[in-house]
């Protein structure tokens, strides 16, 4: 079924489906097991020219978030980590596109588009994940620019990144706070180090690390947008636009878990029957299909709204619903999938426990599902901050 996709999107879907079957599926388990950065998958995405899909033709993209969702969904169906390579690249791209100066755009976007440059994004600190306003890393004004001090956590892709978008509390020369800004910190900057990788339950292919900033000097031109909250707000608003893409990763994951389950219950036998003969199992896969399809429709609609130019307080609750619902569905589907595999669901010999572990991650990253529910409730109750 081709849904509401246009010809270009159908072709993109067909292409990625083929590539996944031929090249990605065979690598998925290994990437998860070894937790080594999948450089070959990065090069594959580079060769397919997929790093610009959501962005305009000027950068070689389709200009469509729905197309980006389709790409991520198809990769997510077979390998969470390969889909995550795209998203890790798209977030800094979108942030610089939304809030960067023409010079910053010229310096970073062409390289991100070809994959010659890799970016990462760092907001989270030990004491503040959901509560971005609690960040303590500072960027204090100096005669030449700023000096950054502090520590970050969970920065995904930072080990291979050429630069990192670092959220810091901007201080005037006298130490007075002026708001939060993103600063572009390049690899090799003096006083900047990437710490030991987190041992992760899921999303293991692209490692996440703490970052340390010890009097790291950056030029004024490294700051995104005007000093203070405005530039940061602009950058954060782009997260509403990219949220359907995160949700699409969950739809793909749910679909992939279901694909594996159907194959398994058709082949596995008990009590003289295929497992797929038992009503309990049949109804479980039917529920998986209904929920996955409902999530897909919500995600495609949110993405189509972004493509139609909807933004701000109208887009925010829909994008939140898409992310929250799709990742909750992915978790439910993956949980039932493990159940239907029986002991094989627990065994590392089968792919399904990888889906279960990766699903949990999507409920937490890019704004936890509680935070998404807060966005939805604020919108329903008329409590949206201007």
Question: Which residues sit at the interface with ligand FAD, rule CB under 6 A?
Answer: 121-124, 129-131, 154-156, 200, 203, 208, 361, 364-365, 368, 370-371, 374
Given the complex with ligand FAD, which of 25 and 371 has the nearer CB atom? 371
CA–CA dist 224, 114 (Å, integer): 22
Q: Whole-number minimum distance, CB 341 to ligand FAD, in Å?
A: 24
Give me the sign of the Cα torsion angle 124, 229, 160, 193.
negative
CA contacts within 13 A on the Cβ side of 342 = 7
Instruction: Give the Å distances, CA to CA, from 281 to 261, 294, 345, 351.
Output: 10, 20, 15, 19
What is the greatest pairwise CA distance in the chain?
80
Q: Report which of 356, 317, 337, 346 is spatially closest to residue 265, judged by C-alpha positions.
A: 337
Q: Are 157 and 118 in contact (CB under 8 A)?
A: yes
CA–CA dist 137, 123 (Å, integer): 10
Q: Whole-number minimum distance, CB 197 to ligand FAD, in Å?
A: 11
3-class DSSP state for residue 322?
helix
Consecutive H or E run containing 274:
strand 273-274
CA–CA dist 325, 292 (Å, integer): 10
Given the complex with ligand FAD, which of 336 and 358 has the nearer CB atom? 358
First-last CA distance in the chain: 41
Q: CB-based burial of residue 19 (10 Å sphere; 0-12 exposed, 13-18 middle, 19+ buried)?
A: buried
Choosing from 73, 74, 125, 366, the catalytic residue is 366
CA–CA dist 132, 128 (Å, integer): 6
CA–CA dist 177, 366 (Å, integer): 26
Given the complex with ligand FAD, which of 295 and 365 has the nearer CB atom? 365
Which residues touch 203 (CB under 8 Å, ≥6 apart)? 80, 81, 84, 156, 358, 361, 365
Place of tokens 């960040």: 135
Given the complex with ligand FAD, which of 46 and 374 has the nearer CB atom? 374
Given the complex with ligand FAD, which of 69 and 84 has the nearer CB atom? 84
Given the complex with ligand FAD, which of 72 and 123 has the nearer CB atom? 123
What is the number of the residue whose Cβ is closest to ligand FAD? Answer: 129
Q: Whole-number minimum distance, CB 214 to ligand FAD, in Å?
A: 19
Given the complex with ligand FAD, which of 75 and 300 has the nearer CB atom? 75
- The answer to whether residue 198 is catalytic is no
Q: Whole-number minimum distance, CB 156 to ligand FAD, in Å?
A: 3
Given the complex with ligand FAD, which of 124 and 240 has the nearer CB atom? 124
Q: Whole-number minimum distance, CB 196 to ligand FAD, in Å?
A: 15
Q: Whole-number minimum distance, CB 122 to ligand FAD, in Å?
A: 5
Q: Whole-number minimum distance, CB 331 to ligand FAD, in Å?
A: 13
| Angle, CA of 339, 208 and 165, to the nearest 5° | 130
Q: Whole-number minimum distance, CB 354 to ligand FAD, in Å?
A: 14
Pairing of strands 138-141, 163-171: parallel
Place of tokens 């029957």: 273
Q: Are 105 and 120 in contact (CB under 8 A)?
A: no
Catalytic residue positions? 366
């Amino acid at each position: 079924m081709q849904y509401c996709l246009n010809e270009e999107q159908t072709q993109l879907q067909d292409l990625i489906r083929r590539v996944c079957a031929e090249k990605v599926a065979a690598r998925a388990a290994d990437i998860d097991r070894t937790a080594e950065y999948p450089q070959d998958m990065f090069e594959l995405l580079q060769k397919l020219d997929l790093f610009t899909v959501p962005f305009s033709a000027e950068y070689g993209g389709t200009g469509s978030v729905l197309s980006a969702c389709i790409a991520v969904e198809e990769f997510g169906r077979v390998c969470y980590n390969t889909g995550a390579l795209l998203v890790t690249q798209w977030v800094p791209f979108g942030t610089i596109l939304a809030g960067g100066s023409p010079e910053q755009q010229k310096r970073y976007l062409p390289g991100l588009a070809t994959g010659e440059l890799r970016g990462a994004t760092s907001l989270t600190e030990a004491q503040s994940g959901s509560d971005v306003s609690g960040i303590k890393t500072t960027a204090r004004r100096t005669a030449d620019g700023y000096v950054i001090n502090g520590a970050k956590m969970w920065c995904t892709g930072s080990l291979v990144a050429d630069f990192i978008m670092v959220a810091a509390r901007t201080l005037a020369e006298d130490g007075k706070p002026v708001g939060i800004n993103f600063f572009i910190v390049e690899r090799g900057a003096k006083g900047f180090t990437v710490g030991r990788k987190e041992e992760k339950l899921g999303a293991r292919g692209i490692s996440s690390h703490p970052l340390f900033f010890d009097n790291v000097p950056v030029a004024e031109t490294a700051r995104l947008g005007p000093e203070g909250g405005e530039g940061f707000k602009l950058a954060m608003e782009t997260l509403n636009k990219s949220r359907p893409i995160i949700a699409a990763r969950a739809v793909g994951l749910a679909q992939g878990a279901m694909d594996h389950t159907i194959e398994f219950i058709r082949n596995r036998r008990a009590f003289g029957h295929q497992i797929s003969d038992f009503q309990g199992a049949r109804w479980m896969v039917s529920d998986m299909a209904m929920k996955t399809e409902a999530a897909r429709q919500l995600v495609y609609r949110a993405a189509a709204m972004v493509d139609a130019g909807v933004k701000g307080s109208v887009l925010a609750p829909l994008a939140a619903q898409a992310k929250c619902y799709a990742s909750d569905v992915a978790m439910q589907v993956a949980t039932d999938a493990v159940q239907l595999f029986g002991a094989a669901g627990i065994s590392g010999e089968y792919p399904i426990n990888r889906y279960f572990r990766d699903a949990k991650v999507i409920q937490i990253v890019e704004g936890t599902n509680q935070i998404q529910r807060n966005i939805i409730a604020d919108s329903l109750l008329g409590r949206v901050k201007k």
